[in-house]
Structure 1
Amino acid sequence: MPRWHTTTRGSQDLLATALPQMALEQPLTALNVMQLSSRLLGAPQTAREVADEDSGETRYQLLRQQVHARLVEDTAYLAETDDTAVRERLAELVNQTACELGWPLNLDDGFETVTRIHNELLGFGPLERLLADPSITEIMVNGPQEIWIERGGRLSLTPYRFETVDQLMQVIDRMVSRVGRRIDESSPMVDARLEDGSRIHVVIPPVSLKGPTLTVRRFTETGLEVDDLVRHGTATAEMMSFLRACVRARLNVLVSGGTGVGKTTTLNVISSFIPDDERIVTIEDAAELKLRQRHVLSLETRPANVEGRGQIVVRDLVISSLRMRPDRLVVGECRGGEALDMLQAMSTGHDGSLTTLHASSTREAISRLETMVLMAGTELPTAAIRGQIGSAIDLIVQQGRLRDGSRRILSISEVMGVENGEVQIQELFRFEQTGVDATGHVLGQHVPCGRVPRRTADILASGEDLDMHIFVAPDRPSGPDHPRRRLADWVPETSTAPLPLAAADRRRRSDWLPEGSPRMTLARKRKAS
């Protein structure tokens, strides 16, 4: 077993056992490793050719080439199928070769060298360091010489590079093959996901003119919680409390926004409000949602095979899911004709369903829904489509990314139905930007719009606690249009809906009706009589 040369006591431990374990869908033989890496590793140099070189990178390249040459000649290594044994043999050869070249490695240098070579042979090369950094939310590879990252909402160019186009393509092939996808000139675009749930999108020539491009959207295994969104300023605690009441009261929610604004993250969080005893079916192109309820079925689309057959799209899965007796549907994103099936499901017993779509505003989200319904190939008139939208969608959560890279829920709006042929919406909460500070940070706050939701009675009837004060606009005077005064219009005296809760006790209706209001006066007259 290999031991590393070192001058420090107690560091004669096996390096091979310290190497990070690489999760592989199927074991790679050492022979396959050699086939995969033969193009990126050049012919070995001699020690004399670099004897006068002091560069650590030059030494690494020579060491790597010498190790590669020995691995090719090592018949026992080529026959090895166990990944752990492959790593152990690699560590042994690195240590032996370094000593022969006159560069004995201490434990730290040895670990670094073997890890780097191992990543190039079995892992994702220069992307391994970036994938191990939890602060990075997105990785963008624009050809072999440009690797960008997003951290804290801001983009930056990294010093990491792929040595050749072939090396980049080998990493891409490794990524997509592990999830049963393929990438070639006949299929130059691929959506897939890594073992940790991160989503990847690949485009290669001839479609991509700059060379192979790879985008990795990172996934956090633990997922964000409500408190995380509040702490990051994505929403306020009051807004999340309202969304929780709406989800548990089985209102249909649409999350809208552009690319990379955090729609899936928000959908993940509000999906956590669904009760644990309900049967949930999730449908996605590349599985990202991580619902923690006990009864969850996850469906994922499938591309066509080499013969162009066997493709399964989101609409196929939506139709199939309706036969699975779901209590709720959660569709990762509506992009086409599946919008019609989703709207029909929301209106026919699967209320409380959730989905997202790409749109830059709440009003545009309505227009996008109309367009996608037409993509289903139906001959529905516009009035019928708008009627379907008005009756199926209850809330639209509009998400956006500000100039400083921060992500915010820009508005929460309620769909009021259809009037004069148009879908009517009213805004309940919005983000008001007030300026930008000296560091470029966007200043602003979330504020209520001073309107009471039309579905208040339904939310209260479901037994959910809803504090009506969260709808009061902070700068709005107490007048006839104040939410507390208008509550009686939304919860009639004859309603059987339970009133909001204060602590564990139900509050009297008169507690929510201000003195002097017509409803209060009428209520007191009724009580006196």
Structure 2
Amino acid sequence: MLIRKAKPAPTPSQAPTPVDDEVQKVASSRTQQVAKSETPGMVNRRLLRSFLYDQIDPLKAAAMSRDKLLAQIETQIRRICDEKRLQLSRNEEEQIATEVLDEMLGIGPIQPLLADESVNDILVNGAKLVFVERFGKLELTPITFLDEEHVFNTAQRIAAGVGRRIDEAHPMVDARLADGSRVNIITYPLALDGTTISIRKFMRRNLTLEALAARQAMSYEMVEVLERAMVAKLNIIVSGGTGAGKTTLLNALSQKIDDTDRIVTIEDAAELQMQQIHVVRLETRPVSAEGTGKVDQRDLVRNALRMRPDRIILGEVRGGESFDMLQAMNTGHDGSLCTVHANTPRDTILRLENMVMMAGMQLPLEAIRRQIASAVHMIVQVERQRDGMRRIVSITEVCGMENDVIQTQELFGFQLRSVDANGKLIGDFVASGQRPQFYSAHAHLFGGA
């Protein structure tokens, strides 16, 4: 049975801390505010959940199978409804049983969204607003939490599951769920309208360049150029905004890497899905609650250089690690890949310049530009456009320096022609007519083409 034993009286060592007292004050205030707007049915549901959680022994529940646990929860719900005379329909009882099960084994009301393959992002804005992104567009779901405390408890459970804590003293958490999905949590006092949970789902489908072309994210001519760029071991930067599909494209490019290459990947949250057998995956570590133990991307890039990599793949460049990455690209680690947040290929170069300056190396701007021009061979710009489609809007080759200016040439671009009745953008992937410079330098790899 699930019924837990009576709780022993608290010992002095379990006395609440000042932070705990403050949490309880805030929790009480939130509960009072929500209670004013509750209907009788909502009150019954909340009371039933409260009685049910008091009865459940988590240790016994953890040892049960999902089906047996669900049956036990349903039995307890019916018993509590009879004893407490709570008026709930059979459908409401079954719904509560499923919700409780999801909270015990998953992440509450939003657990079904994790299993929905069409959902890319889950965005919880307080108790009553849960949004998802499907096919590039945000939509409001009918899913809600009972109240702010329900959201906050779910957030605490997520944080505890990855060895972190979320409270007024630590109101922000970045973590990774067991399935690889990235989660960000921010709560009171920083989130004024309630605890906010943002989940970027780990997508299990690993698309190829050809599959992306079939989805009209690029043309097959662009696929050929990118394949040749990977064979020639060009250093490629994938550039784009948040949610544009940079990681998806990086995964697709990585499939063209030879199995004989030793690959080292560096990420804040592991998302890359390498298909090769010789892969070393590194992940940063955030600062601990005690303020120690932080390992950032720059530390990992430096360490990766001592690991005899053939290629380094950096999930996202955002700071001083850009200098170390450029150094690696310039010292024999050709074929390396990384992503950058930028809106155009030219913006990507400017961002790299600024990030190298952040490294504190005190280099003159001309020297920084020469480093970039020598290290970076190609910039692939990906964009989530207003119809929700993710497209490669530019493939740009870096052609060196001239008069202190980094020279580039666009090989392909997306040209918009019209918008159809459903709001879908109609356009073409147009070749500039420029022959890629790397074709000549690596003609032996392409049969002289």
Taking structure 2 as the reference length, the TM-score comes to 0.85
Native 8 Å contact 1:429 1:447 kept in 2: yes
Q: Does 1:67 align with 2:47?
A: no
1:82 aligns to what?
62
Alignment of 1:328-367 (within 5 A): 328-367=311-350
Runs of 5+ consecutive residues of structure 1 not aligned to the other structure: 3-28, 33-37, 43-49, 72-76, 465-497, 501-529
Following the alignment from structure 1 to structure 2, what is the Cα–Cα distance between the partners of residues 434 and 383? Answer: 39
Seen in structure 2, the aligned counterparts of structure 1 residues 460 and 94 have a Cα distance that, compared at 3 Å, is same
1:290-349 Cα distance to aligned partner (Å, 9 max, x none):
111101111111111122111111000000000000000000000011001101100101
1:94 aligns to what?
74
Following the alignment from structure 1 to structure 2, what is the Cα–Cα distance between the partners of residues 105 and 459? Answer: 72
Following the alignment from structure 2 to structure 1, what is the Cα–Cα distance between the partners of residues 324 and 59? Answer: 53
2:132 aligns to what?
149
2:433 aligns to what?
450
Paired residue for 1:297, among 275, 280, 294?
Answer: 280
Paired residue for 2:448, among 483, 486, 499?
Answer: 499
1:185-223 Cα distance to aligned partner (Å, 9 max, x none):
444333221111111122223332322222111122232
Alignment of 1:263-282 (within 5 A): 263-282=246-265
Opposite residue 72 of structure 2, the aligned amino acid is: E
- Per the TM alignment, residue 122 of structure 1 is displaced from its structure 2 partner at its CA by 4.0
Following the alignment from structure 1 to structure 2, what is the Cα–Cα distance between the partners of residues 159 and 429? Answer: 42
Following the alignment from structure 2 to structure 1, what is the Cα–Cα distance between the partners of residues 233 and 330? Answer: 12
Using the TM superposition, name which of 414-423 and 127-136 deviates more.
Answer: 127-136
- Per the TM alignment, residue 89 of structure 1 is displaced from its structure 2 partner at its CA by 5.0
Following the alignment from structure 2 to structure 1, what is the Cα–Cα distance between the partners of residues 272 and 6? Answer: 37
1:252-279 Cα distance to aligned partner (Å, 9 max, x none):
0000111111111111111111111111
1:490 aligns to what?
none
- What CA RMSD, in Å, does the superposition of the two structures yield over aligned residues? 2.9
2:411 aligns to what?
428
SS of 2:437 mapped into structure 1:
coil
SS of 1:418 mapped into structure 2:
strand
Native 8 Å contact 2:77 2:97 kept in 1: no
Seen in structure 2, the aligned counterparts of structure 1 residues 30 and 170 have a Cα distance that, compared at 3 Å, is farther
SS of 1:260 mapped into structure 2:
coil
- Per the TM alignment, residue 166 of structure 1 is displaced from its structure 2 partner at its CA by 2.1
1:212 aligns to what?
195
Runs of 5+ consecutive residues of structure 2 not aligned to the other structure: 8-23, 32-38
Following the alignment from structure 2 to structure 1, what is the Cα–Cα distance between the partners of residues 178 and 139? Answer: 25
Using the TM superposition, name which of 78-87 and 222-231 deviates more.
Answer: 78-87
SS of 2:411 mapped into structure 1:
strand
Native 8 Å contact 1:415 1:426 kept in 2: yes
1:363-388 Cα distance to aligned partner (Å, 9 max, x none):
01000000000111011101100001
Using the TM superposition, name which of 360-369 and 153-162 deviates more.
Answer: 153-162
- Per the TM alignment, residue 436 of structure 1 is displaced from its structure 2 partner at its CA by 1.1
Native 8 Å contact 1:283 1:314 kept in 2: yes
Paired residue for 1:405, among 382, 388, 399?
Answer: 388
Native 8 Å contact 2:186 2:197 kept in 1: yes
- Per the TM alignment, residue 146 of structure 1 is displaced from its structure 2 partner at its CA by 1.4
SS of 1:451 mapped into structure 2:
coil
Opposite residue 354 of structure 1, the aligned amino acid is: L
Seen in structure 2, the aligned counterparts of structure 1 residues 128 and 451 have a Cα distance that, compared at 3 Å, is same
Native 8 Å contact 1:399 1:407 kept in 2: yes
- Per the TM alignment, residue 161 of structure 1 is displaced from its structure 2 partner at its CA by 1.5
SS of 2:202 mapped into structure 1:
coil
Q: Report the structure number with the largest CA radius of gyration.
A: 1
Paired residue for 2:291, among 271, 294, 308?
Answer: 308
Greater RCO (Cα-Cα under 8 Å, separation 6 or more): 2
Native 8 Å contact 2:77 2:93 kept in 1: no
Native 8 Å contact 1:95 1:105 kept in 2: no
1:203 aligns to what?
186
Q: Does 1:177 align with 2:126?
A: no
Using the TM superposition, name which of 140-149 and 324-333 deviates more.
Answer: 140-149
Seen in structure 2, the aligned counterparts of structure 1 residues 441 and 396 have a Cα distance that, compared at 3 Å, is same
Native 8 Å contact 2:44 2:88 kept in 1: no
Paired residue for 1:317, among 295, 300, 305?
Answer: 300
Following the alignment from structure 1 to structure 2, what is the Cα–Cα distance between the partners of residues 30 and 300? Answer: 41
- Per the TM alignment, residue 184 of structure 1 is displaced from its structure 2 partner at its CA by 3.4
